[in-house]
């Protein structure tokens, strides 16, 4: 990968105010892409991400939207295209959790997770694909999860949403393969983010026993793959689910 091989490209990263989304946005910016930073509620963090991106010599905007709501996605896409005219790279990273055993899971807990994680991926991808067809080039990179491959107690909603993204990726990759557009999913394991930091030591010890490498990953482990999949080096990779989890899904 050349240092600025994405120069002139525009990326939209959802849920990019912190964590994996922020790291991915910064990675793409370091490769020369202009980046739209989507956020839902973390406005100050999103603006800080924009500031860091601009310091790399490219342009950026923050755009607020709940990706699980179609009208908000439409407004976000309009804002991005009004600024940059196109979207070449879409990273579907926005996601939420609302854990609980199925017997006690509320309808809202199920619906909200499906809306954000799965429907948001659908809404954003459908809008971006239309723009990518015009450019005859595109990259869609979905952020799934190891629990979409192996499940997890108390996460039927989250596991279902992430497993569905894998099937979505397979099908969409076939639909757009002749248009110079690739579609792939990265399935992270436990990564050092806010979600992991709030776990108790006992919980961390239990999780560590599931990971052959005996350590949590860093956001850069994911963002480096995002950068690779967006690059020309990955032009012949599509429809793949790539696990970055320290061996957890083995």
pLDDT in tens, 110-159: 999 999 999 999 999 999 999 999 999 999 999 999 999 999 999 999 99
Work out the percent of the chain whose per-residue pLDDT is above 70.
Answer: 99
Task: Write out the catalytic residue numbers.
Answer: 158
**Other beta carbons within 10 Å of 121:** 30
Q: What's the whole-number average pLDDT of the chain?
A: 96
From 40, 24, 30, 42, select the one nearest 2 (Cα to Cα): 30
Mean pLDDT, residues 9-26 taken together: 98
pLDDT over threshold 70, residue 2: no
Mean pLDDT, residues 210-227 taken together: 96
CATH code where residue 160 lies: 3.40.50.720
Q: Residue 196 — very low, low, confident or very high, per pLDDT cuts 50/70/90?
A: confident
What is the pTM assigned to this prediction?
Answer: 0.96
Look at residue 248 and tell me if it is in a domain: no
Look at residue 214 and tell me if it is in a domain: no
Look at residue 205 and tell me if it is in a domain: no
Q: Per the structure, how many domains does the chain have? A: 1
Look at residue 165 and tell me if it is in a domain: yes
Look at residue 108 and tell me if it is in a domain: yes
Kindly provide the residue ranges of all beta strands, DSSP E only, lying in the chain, ordered along the sequence. Answer: 10-13, 34-39, 60-64, 89-92, 138-143, 181-188, 241-244
């Amino acid at each position: 990968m050349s240092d600025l091989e994405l120069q002139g490209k525009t990326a939209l990263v959802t849920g990019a105010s912190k964590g994996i989304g922020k790291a991915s946005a910064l990675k793409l910016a370091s490769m020369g892409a202009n980046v739209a930073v989507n956020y839902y509620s973390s406005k100050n963090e999103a603006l800080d991400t924009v500031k860091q991106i601009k310091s790399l010599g490219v342009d950026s905007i923050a755009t607020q939207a709940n990706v699980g709501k179609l009208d908000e996605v439409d407004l976000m896409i309009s804002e991005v295209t009004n600024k940059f005219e196109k979207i070449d790279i879409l990273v579907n990273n926005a996601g939420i959790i609302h854990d609980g055993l199925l017997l006690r899971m509320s309808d809202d807990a199920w619906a909200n997770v499906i809306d954000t994680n799965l429907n948001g991926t659908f809404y954003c991808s459908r809008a971006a694909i239309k723009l990518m067809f015009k450019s005859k080039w595109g990259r869609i990179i979905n952020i799934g999860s190891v629990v979409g491959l192996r499940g997890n107690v108390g996460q039927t909603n989250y596991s279902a949403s992430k497993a569905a993204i894998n099937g979505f990726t397979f099908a969409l990759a076939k639909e757009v393969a002749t248009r110079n557009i690739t579609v792939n999913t990265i399935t992270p394991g436990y990564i050092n983010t806010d979600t992991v930091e709030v776990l108790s030591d006992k919980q961390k010890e239990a999780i560590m026993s599931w990971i052959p490498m005996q350590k949590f990953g860093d956001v850069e482990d994911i963002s480096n793959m995002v950068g690779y999949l967006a690059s020309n080096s990955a032009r012949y990779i599509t429809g793949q689910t790539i696990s970055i989890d320290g061996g957890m899904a083995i």
